[in-house]
Protein backbone atom coordinates (compact mmCIF):
# COMPACT_ATOMS: atom_id res chain seq x y z
CA UNK A 1 0.00 0.00 0.00
CA UNK A 2 1.47 3.39 -0.98
CA UNK A 3 2.73 5.48 1.94
CA UNK A 4 3.69 2.57 4.21
CA UNK A 5 7.31 1.54 4.70
CA UNK A 6 8.72 -1.90 5.38
CA UNK A 7 9.06 -1.14 9.08
CA UNK A 8 5.38 -0.20 9.17
CA UNK A 9 4.41 -3.64 7.86
CA UNK A 10 6.80 -5.40 10.21
CA UNK A 11 5.51 -3.39 13.17
CA UNK A 12 1.84 -4.04 12.48
CA UNK A 13 2.48 -7.78 11.97
CA UNK A 14 4.38 -7.81 15.28
CA UNK A 15 1.48 -5.98 16.93
CA UNK A 16 -1.08 -8.54 15.71
CA UNK A 17 1.11 -11.52 16.61
CA UNK A 18 1.83 -10.14 20.09
CA UNK A 19 -1.86 -9.58 20.81
CA UNK A 20 -2.95 -12.94 19.40
CA UNK A 21 -0.05 -14.80 20.97
CA UNK A 22 -0.71 -13.38 24.42
CA UNK A 23 -4.42 -14.20 24.10
CA UNK A 24 -3.69 -17.82 23.17
CA UNK A 25 -1.09 -18.17 25.91
CA UNK A 26 -3.29 -16.72 28.66
CA UNK A 27 -6.53 -18.49 27.71
CA UNK A 28 -5.72 -21.77 25.96
CA UNK A 29 -2.22 -22.90 26.89
CA UNK A 30 -1.09 -24.98 29.85
CA UNK A 31 1.00 -22.01 30.98
CA UNK A 32 -2.18 -19.93 31.13
CA UNK A 33 -3.49 -22.17 33.93
CA UNK A 34 -0.84 -20.61 36.15
CA UNK A 35 -2.13 -17.10 35.49
CA UNK A 36 -4.24 -14.82 37.60
CA UNK A 37 -7.40 -15.36 35.52
CA UNK A 38 -7.26 -19.13 35.89
CA UNK A 39 -6.82 -18.89 39.64
CA UNK A 40 -9.68 -16.43 39.90
CA UNK A 41 -12.01 -19.05 38.36
CA UNK A 42 -11.24 -21.29 41.34
CA UNK A 43 -12.19 -18.46 43.66
CA UNK A 44 -15.45 -18.01 41.74
CA UNK A 45 -16.22 -21.67 42.31
CA UNK A 46 -15.48 -21.22 46.01
CA UNK A 47 -17.72 -18.15 46.05
CA UNK A 48 -20.62 -20.17 44.64
CA UNK A 49 -20.10 -23.00 47.12
CA UNK A 50 -20.20 -20.50 49.97
CA UNK A 51 -23.25 -18.85 48.40
CA UNK A 52 -25.17 -22.14 48.56
CA UNK A 53 -24.76 -22.22 52.34
CA UNK A 54 -26.15 -18.69 52.81
CA UNK A 55 -29.84 -18.18 53.22
CA UNK A 56 -29.50 -14.42 52.83
CA UNK A 57 -27.79 -13.73 49.51
CA UNK A 58 -28.01 -9.96 49.41
CA UNK A 59 -24.22 -9.70 49.57
CA UNK A 60 -23.88 -12.00 46.56
CA UNK A 61 -26.34 -9.86 44.64
CA UNK A 62 -24.36 -6.74 45.50
CA UNK A 63 -21.13 -8.33 44.27
CA UNK A 64 -22.84 -9.28 41.02
CA UNK A 65 -24.17 -5.73 40.64
CA UNK A 66 -20.70 -4.26 41.15
CA UNK A 67 -19.34 -6.53 38.41
CA UNK A 68 -22.11 -5.38 36.08
CA UNK A 69 -21.52 -1.72 36.87
CA UNK A 70 -17.80 -2.00 36.17
CA UNK A 71 -18.49 -3.64 32.83
CA UNK A 72 -21.08 -1.00 31.93
CA UNK A 73 -18.54 1.74 32.70
CA UNK A 74 -16.00 0.29 30.31
CA UNK A 75 -18.65 -0.26 27.62
CA UNK A 76 -19.74 3.39 27.79
CA UNK A 77 -16.11 4.54 27.83
CA UNK A 78 -15.47 2.51 24.68
CA UNK A 79 -18.34 4.28 22.91
CA UNK A 80 -16.65 7.60 23.73
CA UNK A 81 -13.41 6.26 22.27
CA UNK A 82 -15.25 5.18 19.11
CA UNK A 83 -16.75 8.65 18.81
CA UNK A 84 -13.32 10.21 19.24
CA UNK A 85 -11.84 8.01 16.51
CA UNK A 86 -14.68 8.95 14.16
CA UNK A 87 -14.03 12.62 14.91
CA UNK A 88 -10.36 12.11 13.98
CA UNK A 89 -11.39 10.71 10.61
CA UNK A 90 -13.14 13.98 9.85
CA UNK A 91 -10.04 16.02 10.72
CA UNK A 92 -7.23 14.15 9.02
CA UNK A 93 -5.90 17.17 7.02
CA UNK A 94 -5.56 19.20 10.21
CA UNK A 95 -3.92 16.28 12.02
CA UNK A 96 -1.40 15.87 9.20
CA UNK A 97 -0.41 19.53 9.62
CA UNK A 98 -0.12 19.15 13.39
CA UNK A 99 2.19 16.14 13.11
CA UNK A 100 4.30 17.89 10.49
CA UNK A 101 4.82 20.86 12.81
CA UNK A 102 6.02 18.77 15.76
CA UNK A 103 9.75 18.49 16.55
CA UNK A 104 9.68 14.85 15.47
CA UNK A 105 7.57 15.73 12.44
CA UNK A 106 7.54 13.24 9.59
CA UNK A 107 5.98 13.24 6.14
CA UNK A 108 2.65 11.45 5.87
CA UNK A 109 -0.56 11.69 3.92
CA UNK A 110 -4.23 11.86 4.76
CA UNK A 111 -4.75 8.40 3.26
CA UNK A 112 -2.11 6.79 5.48
CA UNK A 113 -3.44 8.56 8.55
CA UNK A 114 -7.00 7.46 7.76
CA UNK A 115 -5.89 3.83 7.56
CA UNK A 116 -4.21 4.11 10.95
CA UNK A 117 -7.26 5.76 12.51
CA UNK A 118 -9.43 3.07 10.93
CA UNK A 119 -7.36 0.41 12.66
CA UNK A 120 -7.77 2.19 15.98
CA UNK A 121 -11.51 2.39 15.36
CA UNK A 122 -11.68 -1.35 14.72
CA UNK A 123 -9.91 -2.05 18.02
CA UNK A 124 -12.35 0.11 19.97
CA UNK A 125 -15.38 -1.44 18.23
CA UNK A 126 -14.05 -4.90 19.10
CA UNK A 127 -13.61 -3.81 22.72
CA UNK A 128 -17.16 -2.45 22.83
CA UNK A 129 -18.63 -5.73 21.63
CA UNK A 130 -16.65 -7.62 24.25
CA UNK A 131 -17.71 -5.31 27.09
CA UNK A 132 -21.34 -5.28 25.92
CA UNK A 133 -21.47 -9.06 25.72
CA UNK A 134 -19.78 -9.35 29.12
CA UNK A 135 -22.43 -7.07 30.59
CA UNK A 136 -25.15 -9.27 29.09
CA UNK A 137 -23.53 -12.39 30.51
CA UNK A 138 -23.41 -10.82 33.96
CA UNK A 139 -27.16 -10.20 33.56
CA UNK A 140 -27.60 -13.88 32.84
CA UNK A 141 -25.46 -14.71 35.86
CA UNK A 142 -27.66 -12.50 38.05
CA UNK A 143 -30.70 -14.46 36.86
CA UNK A 144 -28.95 -17.75 37.60
CA UNK A 145 -28.06 -16.42 41.04
CA UNK A 146 -31.69 -15.61 41.72
CA UNK A 147 -32.80 -19.06 40.54
CA UNK A 148 -30.33 -20.94 42.76
CA UNK A 149 -32.17 -23.15 45.29
CA UNK A 150 -32.19 -21.96 48.91
CA UNK A 151 -29.70 -23.14 51.51
CA UNK A 152 -32.28 -25.59 52.90
CA UNK A 153 -32.08 -27.51 49.60
CA UNK A 154 -28.29 -27.47 49.50
CA UNK A 155 -27.99 -31.26 49.56
CA UNK A 156 -30.70 -31.91 46.99
CA UNK A 157 -29.92 -33.13 43.51
CA UNK A 158 -29.13 -30.39 41.06
CA UNK A 159 -28.29 -27.70 43.63
CA UNK A 160 -24.53 -28.04 43.33
CA UNK A 161 -24.86 -28.25 39.56
CA UNK A 162 -26.68 -24.89 39.64
CA UNK A 163 -23.78 -23.35 41.57
CA UNK A 164 -21.25 -24.75 39.12
CA UNK A 165 -23.32 -23.42 36.21
CA UNK A 166 -23.35 -19.98 37.80
CA UNK A 167 -19.58 -20.08 38.37
CA UNK A 168 -19.01 -20.95 34.71
CA UNK A 169 -21.30 -18.12 33.59
CA UNK A 170 -19.45 -15.57 35.73
CA UNK A 171 -16.12 -16.88 34.44
CA UNK A 172 -17.32 -16.57 30.84
CA UNK A 173 -18.43 -12.99 31.49
CA UNK A 174 -15.07 -12.25 33.06
CA UNK A 175 -13.25 -13.76 30.09
CA UNK A 176 -15.01 -11.44 27.65
CA UNK A 177 -14.36 -8.51 29.96
CA UNK A 178 -10.66 -9.39 30.01
CA UNK A 179 -10.62 -9.49 26.21
CA UNK A 180 -12.14 -6.04 26.03
CA UNK A 181 -9.71 -4.68 28.56
CA UNK A 182 -6.84 -6.31 26.67
CA UNK A 183 -7.98 -4.46 23.55
CA UNK A 184 -7.75 -1.21 25.53
CA UNK A 185 -4.18 -2.01 26.60
CA UNK A 186 -3.02 -2.85 23.11
CA UNK A 187 -4.81 0.21 21.72
CA UNK A 188 -2.39 2.27 23.83
CA UNK A 189 0.49 0.54 22.11
CA UNK A 190 -1.15 1.02 18.72
CA UNK A 191 -1.04 4.77 19.23
CA UNK A 192 2.71 4.57 18.67
CA UNK A 193 2.03 3.88 14.99
CA UNK A 194 0.85 7.47 14.59
CA UNK A 195 4.52 8.41 15.05
CA UNK A 196 6.19 5.59 13.11
CA UNK A 197 6.62 1.84 12.94
CA UNK A 198 9.60 1.83 15.32
CA UNK A 199 7.55 3.43 18.07
CA UNK A 200 4.70 0.97 17.43
CA UNK A 201 7.10 -1.95 17.83
CA UNK A 202 8.53 -0.58 21.07
CA UNK A 203 5.11 0.33 22.47
CA UNK A 204 3.74 -3.13 21.62
CA UNK A 205 6.65 -4.75 23.44
CA UNK A 206 6.08 -2.51 26.47
CA UNK A 207 2.37 -3.39 26.60
CA UNK A 208 3.17 -7.09 26.24
CA UNK A 209 5.70 -6.99 29.08
CA UNK A 210 3.26 -5.16 31.38
CA UNK A 211 0.32 -7.48 30.66
CA UNK A 212 2.41 -10.64 31.09
CA UNK A 213 3.89 -9.39 34.36
CA UNK A 214 0.44 -8.48 35.69
CA UNK A 215 -1.00 -11.86 34.72
CA UNK A 216 1.89 -14.18 35.58
CA UNK A 217 4.18 -12.11 37.79
CA UNK A 218 5.04 -13.00 41.41
CA UNK A 219 3.02 -10.10 42.82
CA UNK A 220 -0.21 -11.41 41.26
CA UNK A 221 0.48 -14.95 42.48
CA UNK A 222 1.20 -13.69 45.99
CA UNK A 223 -1.99 -11.62 46.12
CA UNK A 224 -4.20 -14.65 45.44
CA UNK A 225 -2.05 -17.08 47.40
CA UNK A 226 -1.32 -19.24 44.37
CA UNK A 227 2.39 -19.40 45.12
CA UNK A 228 3.34 -19.39 48.76
CA UNK A 229 7.02 -19.05 47.87
CA UNK A 230 6.46 -15.84 45.93
CA UNK A 231 8.01 -12.77 47.58
CA UNK A 232 5.71 -10.39 49.35
CA UNK A 233 5.94 -7.50 46.94
CA UNK A 234 4.28 -4.12 47.47
CA UNK A 235 1.08 -3.44 45.53
Map 153-213 to HEC letters.
Answer: HCCCCCHHHHHHHHHHHHHHHHHHHHHHHHHHHHHHHHHHHHCCHHHHHHHHHHHHHHHHH
**Averaged pLDDT for residues 184-200:** 92
Indicate whether 229 belongs to any domain. Answer: no
pLDDT score recorded for residue 4: 84
Domain that holds residue 26: 6-224
Q: Mean of the pLDDT values across residues 66-79?
A: 94
Q: Which of 49-53, 76-80, 194-198 holds the top average pLDDT?
A: 76-80
225: left (phi over 0), alpha (psi -120 to 50) or beta: left
Q: Is the pLDDT of residue 102 over 50?
A: yes
Q: Which H or E run contains 139?
A: helix 110-147
What gap in Å lies between CA 60 and CA 163, rounded to an integer? 12
Please check whether residue 235 lies inside any domain of the structure: no
* Domain-embedded: residue 77: yes
Mean pLDDT of 37-47: 87
pLDDT at 200: 94
Asked, for residue 71, whether it belongs to a domain, the answer is yes
Residues of the chain with pLDDT > 70, as a percent, come to: 89
What's the rounded Cα separation, in Å, for the pair 119 and 27?
Answer: 24
Asked if the structure places residue 230 within a domain, the reply is no
* Local confidence band at 151 (pLDDT 50, 70, 90 cut-offs): confident
Query: Is 231 a domain residue?
Result: no
pLDDT digits (tens, 9 = 90+) for 108-125: 778 888 899 999 999 999
Residue 39 forms part of a structural domain: yes
Number of domains in the chain: 1
* Domain presence at residue 234: no
CB 114 within 8 A of CB 92: yes
Per-residue pLDDT band at 204 (split at 50, 70, 90) = very high
Q: Is the pLDDT of residue 105 over 60?
A: no
pLDDT on residue 229: 46
List, in order, residues 6 or more apart from 205 with CB less than 8 Å away.
Answer: 18
The CA distance from 134 to 164, in Å, is 18
Residue in 84, 191, 188, 69 with CA at minimum distance from that of residue 131: 69
Q: Is the pLDDT of residue 206 over 90?
A: yes
Amino acid sequence: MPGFTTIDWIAIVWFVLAWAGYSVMSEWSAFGKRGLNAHMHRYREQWMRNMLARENRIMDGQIMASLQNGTAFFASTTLLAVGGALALLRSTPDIVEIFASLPFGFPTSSGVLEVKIGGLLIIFIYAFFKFAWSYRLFNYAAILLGSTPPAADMDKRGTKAAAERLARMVTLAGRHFNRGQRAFFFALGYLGWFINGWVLSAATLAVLIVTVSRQFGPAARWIIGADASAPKLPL
